[in-house]
Amino acid sequence: MSFTSSVTLPCSPEEAFALLTQPERLRRWQAVSATVDLRAGGDYRWIVTPGHVAEGTFKEVEPGRRLVFGWGWDGNPELPRDASTVTVTFSPEGDGTVVTLTHEGLTEQQAAMHAEGWNHYLERLQKIAATGDAGMDEWAWAPEELTPTTVADAALASMQPVLRGLTDADRAKQTPCTDFTCHELAEHLFGSLAQLGAMAGTTIVVPEEGSLEHRVSTMAAQAIDAWRAVDPDGNVPGPGGQEMPAAALAGVLGLEIALHAWDFAQASGQELRMSDEVVAHLAEQGRAIIPGGRGRSFGAEVTPAEDASPLDRLAAFSGRTAL
């Protein structure tokens, strides 16, 4: 079976094509993270929502006109990589573009499920084309299954709007991490993501160009993917190179992303939205991880305000004081 739907976007075919193919734009409406090798025979991998990874191969790439790619889900034997085909056409109409998406090669049940998904994301595509940003995706708000990597994905999704909202004027502002301004915290985050990736056995590639949101998202996605492949019952090299149980370190990545997202939001006066379910999972991990790192990675616990949110309480437990 197949699914077909069309939407009209208030932009040129070339701009519409870019919205569907450029990782920095995909993250604003369809994906938590995206890797794209945009050529016939090139691969893509999109973390659509935490725990749901779409991947496949580009078959036809005609910028501004047509895009055809294989579609499947990582770890899904019923619809593996390239098991179905998505065709997207871009047709100019007046001052806008009609985008028509057809998804073929699905069972009846798969077609119904993907229709719900595509309708959700095509609506968000219309919003980003009209406003420049579709806002945080409610489907990325709370993962269906809470694991260290899905929680890290969700924390990254919460961090991204904050990073996009940072301005040049925020670079020198002090964060709740007393040693770091926003600029210094970003440099620290690059290093910690590289270190966490190395623990999981991968070398993080640091983007040389792009916004802070692009660089952090790209690095974090690599680290999260690396931890996805780690055997939770095995060992990984911990700080100093000593072997440590992977299960004991798996939660560090989500905490690192979430707490530094809070730091950036506090310093810049932005709202950080994160679901209570995700924060509760992070808090559970934090109770096991943070006490052993006090004096090095974390300060002494501080008393939160009586009306503090669950996330503010987690930050206080980690030694942070709200600004």
Whether residue 182 is found in the same domain as residue 298: yes
Which of 131, 158, 186 represents a domain boundary (last residue)?
131
Give the DSSP H/E element, type plus range, for residue 194: helix 182-199
User: Do residues 258 and 277 lie in contact, with contact meaning Cβ atoms separated by under 8 Å?
Assistant: no
Is 323 inside any structural domain?
A: no
Is the C-alpha dihedral spanning 255, 215, 154, 171 positive or negative?
Answer: positive
Whether residue 124 is found in the same domain as residue 251: no
Which of 112, 131, 150 represents a domain boundary (last residue)?
131
- Per the structure, the complete domain to which residue 57 belongs is given by 2-131
Q: What is the pTM of this model?
A: 0.95
pLDDT of residue 238: 81
In order along its 323 residues, the chain shows pLDDT tens digits of: 999 999 999 999 999 999 999 999 999 999 999 999 999 999 999 999 999 999 999 999 999 999 999 999 999 999 999 999 999 999 999 999 999 999 999 999 999 999 999 999 999 999 999 999 899 999 998 899 999 999 999 999 999 999 999 999 999 999 999 889 999 999 999 999 999 999 999 999 989 889 999 999 999 999 999 999 999 999 998 877 789 899 888 999 999 999 999 999 999 999 999 999 999 999 999 999 999 989 888 999 999 999 999 999 999 999 999 98
pLDDT of residue 296: 85
User: Do residues 98 and 91 lie in contact, with contact meaning Cβ atoms separated by under 8 Å?
Assistant: yes
What total number of domains does the chain contain?
2
pLDDT of residue 241: 77
Residue closest to 69 by CA, chosen among 81, 80, 79, 56: 56
Is 322 inside any structural domain?
A: no
List Cα–Cα distances, 44 to 34, 47, 84, 116, 254, in angstroms: 7, 10, 14, 22, 24
Is 136 inside any structural domain?
A: no
pLDDT of residue 35: 95
Whether residue 310 is found in the same domain as residue 187: yes
Residue closest to 163 by CA, chosen among 18, 22, 19, 28: 28
